[in-house]
Amino acid sequence: MANKLILAYQTMWKYLTFFRYRNGIKVLEREWNNLIILDSCRYDIFERMNTIKGKLTKEISRGSNTLEWIRGNFRGLKKTDIDYISASPYISEEVLAKEIGHNPFNIIDVWNWGWDDSLKVVHPQTMVDAVKSYYKGNRTVIHFLQPHQPFLNGGIIEMSKEEIIKAYERNLEFVLKYVKDLVPILKGKTVIIGDHGECYGEYFLFKHPSVRIKVLREVPWLEVDGMDKENKGVDLDGQ
């Protein structure tokens, strides 16, 4: 009975929020040379944990999950010269053809050859290595999978809500160390953004369902300061 009530509540809330957050930023129309995407990155937690210097604003995403974000940003887009270095399997010829009709990017599909079977994800260091190998100085999207699950410090089996949030925070803190040292090797203006947020029990919701609510649609937009010595994290070469 309780599960049915929760399902009914969620269904009602989905319809009530249908007209909220309908619009959002079209990321390709903004000014940037390098767009670093943190998958499933909530604004409120990023604001609290980020140590990368820059101008942070709150923006509204065009999706509550990655597929919605793809459709909201890339549908109708013609072929571009943008390089897209991605740890996300959703950025692929097959998925883009299904969702928006074709692939408008030069994709470096790191997920295809850099997937760590033991972690069930692409490690941030693998992404850093890929950027160092494939970055040409063109307009470039760099799509990390973290802080999205799976958590690099372990799974979520029998974890409480509070433990899951802590694991999410550690995932974000971990990936930011790699992003922080990636910034100085990039040319031009670098922006860090989340494609969508994450639910941790709000309205009885978890992860990122297709519901237009604050924690899923509010994402960080960080315009990173230039070659600042304070923007230094882990050693890119692992030394």
3-state secondary structure of 30: coil
- The reply to whether 162 falls in a domain is yes
- DSSP, res 143: E
Whole-model pTM: value is 0.83
pLDDT the model gives residue 165: 85
Where the chain has pLDDT below 70, the residues are 1-22, 153-158, 199, 201-213, 215, 227-239
Query: Which CATH number belongs to the domain containing residue 153 in this structure?
Result: 3.40.720.10
Structure confidence at residue 127 (pLDDT): 98
**Structural domain contains residue 234:** no
Contact between residue 187 and residue 31 where contact means Cβ atoms under 8 Å apart: no
> How far apart are the C-alpha atoms of 146 and 173, rounded to whole Å?
9
**Is 49 inside a domain boundary?**
yes
- Residue 232 maps to a domain: no
User: Residue 233: inside a domain, yes or no?
Assistant: no
User: How many other C-beta atoms lie within 10 A of the C-beta of residue 215?
Assistant: 21
- Residue-wise pLDDT for 71-130, tens only, equals 999 999 999 999 999 999 999 989 999 999 999 999 999 999 999 888 889 999 999 999
Q: Are strands 34-39 and 54-60 parallel, antiparallel or unpaired?
A: unpaired
Q: What is the pLDDT of residue 14?
A: 54
How many separate domains does the chain show? 1
Look at residue 83 in the predicted model and tell me its pLDDT. 98
Taking alpha carbons only, the member of 66, 56, 60 closest to residue 26 is 60
Q: Which domain holds residue 154?
A: 2-224
Residue 235, domain member (yes or no): no
- Give the 3-state secondary structure of residue 159: coil
Angle between helix 93-100 and helix 66-74 axes, rounded to 10 deg: 70
Give the model's pLDDT for residue 154: 59
Provide the pLDDT for residue 4. Answer: 58
- Sequence-distant (6+) residues with CB within 8 A of 119 are 150, 152
Give just the sign of the alpha carbon dihedral 199, 150, 161, 52.
negative
Residue 237 lies in a domain: no
Q: What is the pLDDT at residue 133?
A: 97
Cis-peptide into 89, omega within 30 deg: no
**CB contact set of 217 (below 8 Å; sequence gap of 6+):** 21, 24, 60, 61, 64, 196, 197
User: What is d(CA 113, CA 232) in angstroms, rounded to the nearest whole number?
Assistant: 28
3-state DSSP helix/strand/coil percent for the chain, to nearest 5? 40, 20, 45
pLDDT of residue 70: 94
Instruction: Tell me how far apart the alpha carbons of residues 42 and 106 are, in angstroms, rounded to a whole number.
Output: 28
Residue 200 lies in a domain: yes
